């Protein structure tokens, strides 16, 4: 399953909202996760099951979608949200996890 | 609090074998709910899943790497390992170990270790 993300880069101002898209080449149901990777850091889990926030993730991060189209919406953007955001599907069996190429969010 | 820490060489020669270890503290790898896996990230590139396994079962690997990689778990030491054979410059990357919920997504990561393949 090939994952694509758009846009490649998103420039936004503090306090605004960012909308990131992720598309799967075939249906993955809701078997989709989102990660945030700040510069020089390991990725961190934001969302799993397409819409469930991971522990400690603030409500301004919202995931939605199913099938082949998914969205990560970040509201009230803050400077620490500058990062690359990756989606990852886990629909395959046997497991073959695949990631999207990422969206860079610049605040 | 769960912590994962990668260790291994930072520089290896082409055609050699890379061996990395991931030490786990704050949780036991002897669990049915989680698997343990590796991901890598070439410089300036995206994330690539290498493989994962439960403590009791066989490993699952990315088909693109399957012929060259092995993941193993040592429950007595609470760590797991990755070996990659026949290295080339294309294997230069930051290697991350992580804990996975089932075989689905990574919920915890190590800080990563940069491995450069060069003569």
What are the DSSP calls for A3-65, one per residue? EEEE-SEEE--TT--EEEEEEESS--TT-EEEEEE-TTS--EEEEETTTEEPTT--TTEEEEE
How high does pLDDT run on average in chain B?
A: 95
- Characterize the bridge pairing of strands B3-7 and B93-101: unpaired
Is residue B5 within 8 A of residue B110, CB to CB? The reply is: yes
What are the chain A neighbours of B65 within 8 Å (beta carbons)? Answer: none
Confidence class for position A71, pLDDT limits 50, 70, 90 = very high
Angle (CA) A79-A82-A84 rounded to 5° is 165
DSSP notation for B74-117: ETTTTEEEEEE-S--GGG-EEEEEEEEEBTTEEEEE---EEEEE
User: What pLDDT sits at residue A19?
Assistant: 98
Q: Write out pLDDT tens, residues B9-49.
A: 999 999 999 999 999 999 999 988 899 999 999 999 999 99
- pLDDT confidence of residue B58: 81
Residues in chain B within 8 Å Cβ distance of A41: 111
pLDDT confidence tier of residue B51, bands split at 50, 70 and 90: very high
Provide the pLDDT for residue A59. Answer: 97
> What average pLDDT does the segment B99-108 reach?
93
Q: Of A48, A96, A101, which has the smallest distance from its Cβ to B105's Cβ? A: A48
pLDDT tier for residue B84 given thresholds of 50, 70 and 90: very high
Give the residue-averaged pLDDT of B72-88. 95
Question: Which residues in chain B are contacts of A38 at CB distance < 8 A?
Answer: none
Q: How far apart are CA B29 and CA B10, in angstroms?
A: 25
CB contact under 8 A, B96 and A42: yes
* pLDDT at residue B64 greater than cutoff 90: yes
What CA dihedral angle connects A74, B46, B52 and A51, to 10 degrees?
A: 20
Using CA atoms, how far residue B16 sits from B12, B19, B35, B66, B73, in Å, is: 7, 10, 28, 17, 22
Residue written as tokens 């410059």? B89
**Res. A104 pLDDT band, cuts 50 70 90:** very high
Q: What is the pLDDT of residues A11-67, one digit of tens each?
A: 999 999 999 999 999 999 999 999 999 999 999 999 999 999 999 999 999 999 999
Please answer whether residues B73 and B98 qualify as being in contact, where contact means their C-beta atoms are separated by less than 8 angstroms. Answer: no
Q: Which residues of A touch B112 (CB under 8 A)?
A: 42
Q: What is the mean pLDDT of chain A?
A: 96
Look up residue B4 and give its two tokens.
């994962």
Q: Is the pLDDT of residue A93 over 80?
A: no
Asked if A48 and B104 come within 8 Å (Cβ–Cβ), the reply is yes
Among B22, B13, B36, B46, CA closest to B115: B13
- pLDDT tens-digit readout, A44-56: 999 999 999 999 9
The three-class DSSP label of residue B118 is coil
In 3D, which of B109, B104, B77, B97 has the Cα closest to residue B8? B97
Residues in Cβ contact with A3 at an 8 Å cutoff, skipping those fewer than 6 apart: A22, A23, A24, A25, A87, A88, A89, A98, A99, A100, A101
User: For chains A and B, what is the number of CB pairs under 8 angstroms?
Assistant: 53
Two tokens, residue B52: 């994962």
């Amino acid at each position: 399953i090939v994952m694509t993300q758009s846009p490649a880069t998103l420039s936004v101002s503090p306090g605004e909202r960012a909308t990131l898209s992720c598309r799967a080449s075939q249906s993955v149901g809701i078997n989709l996760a989102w990660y945030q990777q700040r510069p020089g850091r390991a990725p961190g889990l934001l969302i799993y099951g397409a819409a469930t926030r991971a522990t400690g993730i603030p409500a301004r991060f919202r995931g939605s979608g199913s099938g082949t189209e998914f969205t990560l919406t970040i509201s009230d953007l803050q400077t620490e949200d500058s990062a690359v955001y990756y989606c990852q599907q886990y629909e395959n069996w046997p497991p073959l996890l695949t990631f999207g190429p990422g969206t860079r969010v610049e605040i | 609090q769960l912590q994962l820490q990668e260790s291994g060489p930072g520089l290896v020669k082409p055609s050699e074998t890379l061996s990395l270890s991931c030490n786990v503290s704050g949780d036991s790898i002897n669990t049915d709910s989680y698997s343990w896996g590796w991901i890598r990230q070439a410089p300036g590139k995206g994330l690539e899943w290498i493989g994962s396994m439960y403590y009791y079962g066989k490993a699952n690997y990315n088909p693109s790497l399957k012929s060259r990689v092995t993941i193993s778990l040592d429950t007595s030491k609470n760590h797991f390992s990755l070996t990659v054979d026949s290295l080339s410059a294309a294997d230069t990357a930051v290697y991350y170990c992580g804990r996975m919920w089932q075989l689905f997504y990574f919920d915890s990561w190590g800080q990563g270790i940069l491995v450069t393949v060069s003569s």
